[in-house]
């Protein structure tokens, strides 16, 4: 099944491990190597290719670090599902650069982008954004000079105003730090806190990696139907809790007010305890008024550090996020980072500032919310019609841009994911988001991000999924 | 001399230390508090203001962290010179927000921006940059989606090509990492290396802070007439050397080929030794062909990590820099950072990519080089005419965007800087760049960045400096 010959013999200026890495990652992306497939052992592959075991080991390590492979203890390396970015038209991807397998063996390529990081780029406010950008470029040469370390004052004012009005965040502009993504900001924050930090299980691995890379050790703490379990948190020995209370990632649970109060009380019980509130997609709440932020319940000098991003509301490639620091972290922050430059281009900062100030942002959000709500409703209806209430259950549909699809009976998650992928539908497995205690993962549950799913292809998606799964459901 | 009443009584929603910090930093920026002035002791100030000693201590610490104050051991807190950004027209700054002192007591405000971080923003290629930006915004919606972690492939190719052709760097695009400034990249790099790291003394404090913030301890190692002393480096116990061989910051020394060879041999003597080459303004060499990079002498898998920035050639606020990693650091880099997003907006990455690809960048550089060379020559001539060769010596004029002004006789550096500032000319003191062994600092030497100095005001600068200094030179 695995074909290395072509790639390993060409590109001879590259190190061998790099060529092997490229060959394998290409085959995983193209679907030649499928999710769940076991790779050959390092020794046998090294022998087969006449390279050193070290070369194979290096390539496998790289692929694991990048999320192509997973190590299963005492078993070996297995291919993980790779979310594939697709052209908006839904056309098939260009053929992979590697030689094709005989037609019968080749799984179909991904036909939908159902990743949780996608957004509908056609909703981006091209015209307004472009107009402001152009206006600033010609009128504001002072934006070429170095700006303030925490970000441009005007943008911090606008964000502060917005967070106060829409998310109930208590803040002043001097508490706001602008950064190139919440991950960047989490990296600055980590060294200011004393760990260990509890992270949600299941949860967002990337934040964990970043906190750990910046010296904050992490403990996965389980979530229940109300979000992070404060009881388990208290027992864990953690001094910091990283949470997504508006829309737990990936389960979609919203933390109710009672649990929020408990969490704040936990933080107030001992000095040096902090809560990091990642409010990553709270703009998209479809039924009720959103609960105000946890930070707002805790106050301007409470125990909550608030993080928000514009990746979901504007575009993943426009790297602007904001962090609101409690007063008592401002001094340590400034002592450590006074000399740092704000990583976001000032033109982009000021474009966003004017976009918010002139009222475009709230109109844009209203438009996104109605579009995404319609899409989610159509998807819900299509899936419910295809499977019926006895078979299918959806979760996390009140807010955010992804939902959980659960089958009430049928084969295991892995079999369902494999069948869907064979139909060209790449779905995430909920169990992949568990950092430990996978046995607690609800059965037959898959993660579906719908922000990048074109509305006119929802019927096709539901139909294809039905074709893929019905034979397995007896 | 110090006036706190107004600021401390207003803004009552801010913490006391913040109000005190703002009041003092405002007075330093406005020139009410002058460089070299000693601040009152913490206890006496706290008593005078009826606040706690802790409040004063916090404010002083913040001001020190941000470079407004310095601590002199066993003496107290002293005001440092603050480079002031000025409007291009050279008009005076708006009056400070604090109550003015009686006219006689008030020093003139800075009349020139002579900071080493400035560039001439009027040379920015507004039209071309704006055209490409607009074109991409409307034609390339795929740039809204998340891009590769190391930066967009096309930009890495262009940068690679440019560095190969102009700086003799040996690299492939997969070795290039795009980041939001060299400081950001240095922060990613530090945890991959095992210290301690030697940093140049005198040198660039900001890099030292960033390396240390990211877990790499630093040792200042002295430079001599050829740059970093390899003899002292070898004795220091350092395993990493951070150097600016094209144009040592701040002395302007170019490291000759012989010393480069020595430095490379030092790195090759033991495994795990690395050289970080910060090539921050090598584009601006005015007389000879620039020496190729140290990285090029070491090879694609040599011991040199190469850093370059577009802050000087485009604008300080456009945060794009690149790092070239040796092959043997690529794997550890990817293992640690595979999940990180590139912090630079993809539209900005692709604008730069097209700007290079279509030949605008090399034309733009040629234009900058000729403008800055002319400016530097005019400045040299004006200063030499004003003071004559018996009094004045200039250093570091072959390359880069700042130079050293040294008086051959006269009072000490501090007195000269104070007199210049009294005439509205803020000059850096060379001794401020010493992290230790200040006694080795050449006497009467000041640092002058001329990139933001308008050519038609060079005569005025030289004349004012002559007026300020001549009375002191007897």
Neighbours of A268 (CB within 10 A): 12
- Does the distance separating the beta carbons of B172 and A13 come in below 8 Å? yes
- Does the distance separating the beta carbons of A317 and B345 come in below 8 Å? yes
The CA–CA distances, whole Å, from A88 to A371, A452, A456 equal: 16, 8, 12
Mutate to test the interface with A, among B142, B145, B205 (most CBs of A within 10 A): B145
CA dist., res. B36 & res. B412, Å (int):
13
Interface of A with B in 132-171 (CB under 8 A): 133-134, 137-138, 141-147
Q: pLDDT per residue over B194-243, tens digit each? A: 989 999 999 999 999 999 999 999 999 999 999 999 999 999 999 999 99
How confident is the model at residue A355, as a pLDDT? 97
Q: Which residue has the higher pLDDT, B189 or B73?
A: B189
How confident is the model at residue A213, as a pLDDT? 96
Is A340 in the B-facing interface, judged by CB distances under 8 Å?
yes
Chain A residues close to B327, C-beta within 8 Å = 15
CA dist., res. B412 & res. A439, Å (int):
74
The CA–CA distances, whole Å, from A201 to A214, A233, A362, B157 equal: 20, 11, 33, 40
Distance from the B206 Cα atom to the nearest Cα atom in chain A, whole angstroms: 6
- Does the distance separating the beta carbons of A117 and B146 come in below 8 Å? yes
CA dist., res. A81 & res. A427, Å (int):
8
Neighbours of A340 (CB within 10 A): 21
Is the separation of the CB atoms in B18 and A301 below 8 Å? no
Chain A residues close to B451, C-beta within 8 Å = none
Residue B186 parent element (H or E): helix B182-189
This prediction's pTM:
0.80
How confident is the model at residue B367, as a pLDDT? 93
Neighbours of B65 (CB within 10 A): 19
Chain B residues close to A319, C-beta within 8 Å = 180, 341-345
Is the separation of the CB atoms in A473 and A410 below 8 Å? yes
Chain B residues close to A205, C-beta within 8 Å = 339
In the three-class reduction of DSSP (H, G, I as helix; E, B as strand; rest coil), residue B210 is classed as helix
Is B398 in the A-facing interface, judged by CB distances under 8 Å?
no
Among chain B residues, the shortest Cα distance to A113 is held by B145
How confident is the model at residue B5, as a pLDDT? 54
Chain A residues close to B58, C-beta within 8 Å = 331
Is the separation of the CB atoms in A294 and A300 below 8 Å? no
* Contacts of B456 by beta carbon, 8 Å cutoff, 6+ apart: none
Chain A residues close to B315, C-beta within 8 Å = 144-145
Q: pLDDT per residue over B385-412, tens digit each? A: 999 989 999 998 877 899 999 999 999 9
- Does the distance separating the beta carbons of B61 and A331 come in below 8 Å? yes
How confident is the model at residue B7, as a pLDDT? 52
Pair type for strands B240-243 and B274-278:
parallel
How confident is the model at residue A291, as a pLDDT? 76
Is A62 in the B-facing interface, judged by CB distances under 8 Å?
yes
* HSE-up (13 A, CA, CB side) for residue A128: 16
Residue from B424, B391, B423, B421 nearest B405 by CA: B391
For chain B, what is the mean pLDDT? 87
Neighbours of A467 (CB within 10 A): 12
CA dist., res. B345 & res. B316, Å (int):
16
Query: Which residues are registered as beta bridge partners of B198?
Result: B219, B241
Chain A residues close to B144, C-beta within 8 Å = 119, 121, 124, 315-318
How confident is the model at residue A11, as a pLDDT? 58
Distance from the A187 Cα atom to the nearest Cα atom in chain B, whole angstroms: 10
Residue B438 φ/ψ, nearest 5 degrees: -60, -20
Per-residue pLDDT of chain A (474 residues; tens, 9 = 90+): 566 554 565 556 667 777 888 788 888 877 778 888 888 888 888 877 778 887 888 788 778 766 678 887 778 888 887 654 333 333 333 333 333 333 444 456 788 999 888 889 899 999 999 999 999 998 888 899 989 999 999 999 999 999 998 899 999 999 999 999 999 999 999 999 998 999 999 999 999 999 999 999 999 999 999 999 999 999 999 999 999 999 899 999 989 999 999 999 999 999 999 999 999 888 888 776 667 899 999 887 899 999 999 998 999 999 999 999 999 999 999 999 988 999 999 999 999 999 999 999 999 999 999 999 999 999 999 999 999 989 999 998 877 899 999 999 999 999 999 999 999 999 999 999 999 999 999 999 999 999 999 999 999 999 999 999 999 987
Residue from A9, A22, A118, A113 nearest A68 by CA: A22
Residue from A142, A138, A347 nearest B131 by CA: A138
Nearest CB partner across the interface for A58, out of B85, B331, B342: B331
Chain A residues close to B118, C-beta within 8 Å = 145
B119: DSSP letter: -
Interval B134-153 mean pLDDT: 92
Is the separation of the CB atoms in B430 and B394 below 8 Å? no
Q: Is B462 exposed, middle or buried (0-12, 13-18, 19+ CB in 10 A)?
A: buried
Q: Which residue has the higher pLDDT, A184 or B95?
A: A184
Nearest CB partner across the interface for A335, out of B65, B319, B348: B65
Q: Tell me the two tokens of residue B472.
A: 């002191």
- Does the distance separating the beta carbons of A144 and B316 come in below 8 Å? yes
Q: What is the dihedral of CA A350, A127, A454, A451, to 10 degrees?
A: 10
Nearest CB partner across the interface for A335, out of B61, B184, B345: B61
Residue B305 parent element (H or E): strand B304-309
* HSE-up (13 A, CA, CB side) for residue B308: 25
- Does the distance separating the beta carbons of A129 and B318 come in below 8 Å? no
CA dist., res. B321 & res. B311, Å (int):
8
CA-based angle B118:B124:B130, to the nearest 5?
140
Distance from the A47 Cα atom to the nearest Cα atom in chain B, whole angstroms: 22
Is the separation of the CB atoms in A200 and A325 below 8 Å? no
Secondary structure of chain A in the HEC alphabet?
A: CCCCHHHHHCCCCCCHHHHHHHHHHHHHHHCCCCCCCECCCHHHHHHHHCCCHHHHHHHHHHHHHCCCEEEECCCEEEECCCCCCCCCCCCCCCCCCCCCCCHHHCCCCCCCCCCCCCCCHHHCCHHHHHHHHHHHHHHCHHHHCCCCCCCCHHHHHHHHHHHHHHHCCCCCHHHEEEECCHHHHHHHHHHHCCCCEEEEECCCHHHHHHHHHCCCCEEEEEEECCEECHHHHHHHCCCEEEECCCCCCCCCCCCCHHHHHHHHHHHHCCCCCEEEEECCCCCCECCCCCCCCHHHHHCCCCCEEEEEECCCCCCCCCCCEEEECCHHHHHHHHHHHCCCCCCCCHHHHHHHHHHHHCCHHHHHHHHHHHHHHHHHHHHHHHHHHHHCCCCEEEECCCECCEEEEEECCCCCHHHHHHHHHHCCCCCEEHHHHCCCCHHHCCCCEEEEECCCCCHHHHHHHHHHHHHHHHHHHC
Residue from A96, A11, A18 nearest A61 by CA: A18
Interval B157-181 mean pLDDT: 95
- Does the distance separating the beta carbons of B345 and A348 come in below 8 Å? yes
In the three-class reduction of DSSP (H, G, I as helix; E, B as strand; rest coil), residue B162 is classed as helix
* Contacts of B421 by beta carbon, 8 Å cutoff, 6+ apart: B31, B34, B35, B81, B107, B110, B427
CA dist., res. A31 & res. B279, Å (int):
42
DSSP of B347-389, one letter per residue? HHHHHHHHHHHTTHHHHHHHHHHHHHHHHHHHHHHHHHHHH-T
Q: pLDDT per residue over A285-315, tens digit each? A: 877 666 789 999 988 789 999 999 999 899 9
* pLDDT beyond 60 at B98: no
* Contacts of B235 by beta carbon, 8 Å cutoff, 6+ apart: none
How confident is the model at residue B194, as a pLDDT? 95
Residue A46 φ/ψ, nearest 5 degrees: -60, -45
């Amino acid at each position: 099944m695995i074909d290395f010959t072509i790639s390993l013999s060409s590109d001879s200026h590259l190190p061998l491990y790099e060529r092997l890495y490229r060959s394998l990652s290409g085959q995983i992306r193209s679907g030649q190597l499928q999710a769940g497939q076991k790779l050959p052992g390092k020794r046998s592959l090294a022998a087969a290719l006449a390279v050193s075991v070290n070369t194979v080991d290096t390539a496998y390590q790289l692929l694991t670090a990048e999320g192509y492979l997973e190590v299963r203890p005492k078993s070996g390396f297995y291919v993980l599902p790779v979310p594939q970015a697709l052209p908006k038209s839904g056309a098939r991807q260009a053929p992979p650069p590697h030689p094709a397998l005989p037609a019968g063996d080749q799984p179909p390529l991904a036909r939908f982008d159902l990743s949780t990081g996608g957004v509908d780029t056609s909703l981006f406010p091209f015209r307004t954004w472009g107009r402001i950008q152009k206006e600033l470029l010609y009128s504001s040469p002072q934006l070429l000079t170095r700006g303030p370390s925490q970000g441009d004052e005007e943008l911090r004012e606008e964000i502060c105003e917005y967070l106060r009005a829409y998310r109930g965040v208590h803040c002043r502009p001097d508490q706001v730090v602008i950064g190139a993504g919440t991950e960047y900001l989490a990296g600055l924050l980590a060294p200011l806190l004393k760990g260990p930090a509890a992270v949600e299980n299941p949860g967002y691995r990337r934040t964990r990696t970043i906190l750990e890379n910046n010296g904050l050790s992490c403990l996965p703490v389980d979530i229940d139907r109300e979000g992070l379990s404060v009881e388990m948190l208290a027992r864990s020995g953690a001094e910091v809790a990283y949470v997504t209370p508006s829309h737990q990632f990936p389960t979609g649970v919203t933390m109710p007010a009672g649990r929020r109060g408990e969490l704040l009380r936990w933080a107030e019980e001992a000095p040096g305890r902090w809560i990091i509130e990642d409010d990553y997609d709270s703009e998209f709440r479809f039924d009720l008024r959103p609960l105000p932020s946890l930070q707002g319940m805790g106050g301007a000098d409470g125990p909550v550090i608030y993080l928000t991003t514009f990746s979901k509301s504007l575009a993943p490639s426009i790297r602007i996020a904001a962090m609101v620091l409690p007063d008592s972290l401002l001094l340590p922050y400034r002592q450590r980072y006074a000399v740092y430059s704000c990583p976001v281009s000032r033109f982009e900062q000021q474009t966003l500032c004017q976009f918010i100030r002139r009222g475009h942002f709230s109109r844009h959000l209203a438009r996104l919310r109605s579009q995404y709500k319609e899409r989610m409703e159509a998807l819900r209806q299509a899936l419910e019609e295809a499977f019926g209430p006895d078979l299918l259950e959806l979760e996390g549909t009140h807010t955010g841009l992804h939902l959980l699809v659960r089958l009430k009976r049928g084969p295991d998650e892995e079999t369902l994911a494999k069948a869907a992928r064979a139909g060209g539908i790449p779905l995430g497995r909920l169990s992949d988001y568990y950092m430990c205690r996978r046995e607690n993962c609800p059965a037959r549950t898959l993660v579906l991000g719908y922000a990048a799913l074109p509305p006119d292809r929802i019927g096709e998606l539901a139909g294809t999924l039905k074709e893929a799964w019905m034979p397995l459901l007896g």
